């Protein structure tokens, strides 16, 4: 059971609730008291793994009256395609252009009632830094700054905690001060592209900017092989299917595979298909890596689709698809996490999610300390 005295969180675009698992920090962090998602299948997965069930529906159909009490934190993992600047202009155009602005309308409504959250976190893909020539990122930061938040952003890669390359952007707005800050960017969490995007922000936003400080990320102690199911418990491709898959390897990736086979050791890799332009023509290629990381998980209909597991051992090569349970492990969801019964639904759930230990690191290193210092200052 959750700690009833814990700071409270609202989770928007909640999916299966992995952000909430990270925020809870093993019972020492936030307690999610409200959640919302448009997808009924994802909402069922959320309810199966949390004490509450989400409100299912479009964020634009919610009103402040639908939200209980005053939250300490509001978290929004809004769809990456929904951050068009058009939403900032209001009216019908806003509803068409972006779910984020529907979320932000609720934040402003809570403010008007004296129930605005002390902390707001916007999680999205790092492409937000450059989409619209940087205007989308600037619009989100400006919205937070205009509402009285001190605003900053961090780029956090799940690879620091998990064997998956998954960089994500976290825009954090805090009120009332007290949060850990640095005098300038920290290379671990403030990438060159983030520093460039900051330099393009309007002056008023830069005056409200903070270079949020987090503890140095730990040394990752897991690799991909450690999270995979036993060889005998999964279905492998037949030799012919494996050969057809490997025939898509570009020369550089074929050389990488050949080197792994020639080593004589067991080598576990991840592979994904990409469309590349070669000689002016689009060609489907298989790309493989043996660095202990999986590529960034996507939904089954995404660009790289499902990933493959490639195992080189005893002079041979075996291949199969990454399973939904393995994807859940790559997102930091323990084996006790209840997945949808449909493999495709489970893969979609994980491909759209945020990695649990990344959220936990953000919560424990920045969000909770900020609230504690605020409480100490008030006392």
Q: What count of other Cβ atoms lies within 10 Å of the Cβ of residue 341?
A: 7
| pTM: predicted TM-score of the whole model, two decimal places | 0.93
**Weakest-pLDDT range from 48-57, 87-96, 195-204, 220-229:** 87-96
Report the DSSP pairing between strands 167-174 and 150-157: antiparallel
CA gap 370, 331 in Å, rounded: 26
Q: What is the pLDDT of residue 299?
A: 82
**Weakest-pLDDT range from 174-188, 196-210, 320-334:** 174-188
Token readout for 356 is: 């649990």
Taking only the tens place, the pLDDT of each residue in 117-126 is 999 999 998 9
Going by pLDDT thresholds of 50, 70 and 90, the confidence category of residue 81 is low
How many Cα atoms occupy the beta-carbon half-sphere of 268 within 13 Å?
Answer: 18
Residues near 137 by Cβ (< 8 Å), separated by ≥ 6? 128, 129, 130, 131, 171, 197, 201
Mean pLDDT on 264-285? 92
**Weakest-pLDDT range from 45-49, 133-137, 170-174:** 133-137
Mean pLDDT on 11-21? 97
Q: What is the pLDDT of residue 132?
A: 83
Going by pLDDT thresholds of 50, 70 and 90, the confidence category of residue 5 is confident
Q: What is the pLDDT of residue 82?
A: 52
Between the CA of residue 240 and those of 64, 112, 162, 237, 288, what are the distances in Å?
A: 58, 64, 32, 8, 19
Q: What is the pLDDT of residue 93?
A: 46
Nearest 10 degrees: Cα torsion 324, 326, 329, 330: -100
Identify which has the larger pLDDT, 4 or 242. Answer: 242
Taking only the tens place, the pLDDT of each residue in 294-313 is 999 988 765 457 899 999 99
Between the CA of residue 21 and those of 15, 32, 37, 168, 353, what are the distances in Å?
A: 12, 9, 16, 17, 11
For residue 11, the cross-strand partners are 35, 75
| Residue 136 main-chain phi, psi, to 5 deg | -70, -45
Taking only the tens place, the pLDDT of each residue in 223-254 is 999 999 999 999 999 999 999 999 999 999 99
- First-residue to last-residue Cα distance in the chain: 29
Domains of the chain, start order: 8-218+353-378 (3.40.50.150), 230-322 (no CATH)
Going by pLDDT thresholds of 50, 70 and 90, the confidence category of residue 96 is very low
Going by pLDDT thresholds of 50, 70 and 90, the confidence category of residue 30 is very high
Q: What is the pLDDT of residue 84?
A: 45
The 3-state DSSP class for residue 181 equals strand
Nearest to 144 by CA among 116, 172, 179, 183: 172
Q: What is the pLDDT of residue 379?
A: 46
Taking only the tens place, the pLDDT of each residue in 167-196 is 999 999 999 777 899 999 999 999 999 999
Question: What does pLDDT average to over the chain?
Answer: 91
CA gap 236, 158 in Å, rounded: 27
Q: What count of other Cβ atoms lies within 10 Å of the Cβ of residue 169?
A: 23
CA gap 19, 304 in Å, rounded: 24
């Amino acid at each position: 059971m959750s700690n009833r005295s814990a700071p409270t969180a609202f989770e928007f675009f909640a999916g299966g609730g992995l952000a909430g698992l990270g925020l809870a920090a093993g019972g020492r962090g936030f307690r999610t008291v409200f959640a919302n998602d448009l997808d009924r299948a994802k909402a069922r997965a959320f309810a199966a793994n949390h004490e509450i069930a989400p409100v299912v529906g479009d964020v634009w159909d919610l009103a402040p009256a639908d939200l209980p009490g005053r939250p300490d934190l509001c978290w929004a993992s809004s769809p990456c395609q929904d951050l068009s600047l058009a939403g900032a202009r209001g009216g019908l155009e806003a509803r068409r252009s972006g779910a984020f602005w529907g979320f932000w309308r609720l934040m402003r409504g809570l403010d008007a009632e004296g129930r605005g959250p002390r902390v707001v976190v916007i999680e999205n893909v790092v492409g937000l830094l450059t989409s619209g020539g940087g205007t989308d990122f600037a619009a989100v930061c400006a919205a937070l700054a205009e509402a009285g938040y001190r605003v900053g952003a961090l780029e956090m890669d799940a690879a620091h905690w998990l064997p998956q390359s998954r960089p994500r952007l976290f825009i954090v707005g805090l009120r009332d001060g007290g949060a850990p800050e640095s005098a300038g960017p920290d290379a671990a969490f403030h990438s060159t592209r983030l520093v460039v995007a900051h330099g393009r922000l309007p002056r008023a936003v830069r005056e409200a900017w903070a270079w949020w400080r987090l503890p140095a990320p730990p040394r990752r102690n897991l690799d991909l092989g450690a999270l995979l199911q036993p060889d005998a418990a999964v279905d492998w491709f037949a030799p012919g299917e494996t050969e057809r898959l490997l025939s898509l390897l570009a020369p550089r990736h074929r050389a990488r595979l050949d080197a792994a086979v020639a080593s004589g050791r067991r080598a576990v890799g991840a592979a994904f298909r990409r469309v590349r332009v070669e000689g002016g023509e689009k060609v489907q290629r298989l790309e493989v890596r043996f660095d202990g990381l999986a590529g960034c998980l996507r939904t089954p209909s995404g660009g790289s689709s499902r990933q493959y597991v490639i195992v080189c051992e005893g002079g041979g090569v075996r291949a199969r698809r990454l399973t939904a349970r393995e994807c859940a492990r790559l997102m930091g969801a323990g084996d006790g996490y209840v997945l949808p019964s449909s493999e495709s639904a489970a893969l979609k759930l994980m491909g759209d999610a945020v990695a649990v230990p990344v959220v936990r690191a953000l919560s424990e290193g920045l969000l909770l300390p900020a609230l504690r210092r605020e409480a100490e200052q008030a006392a």
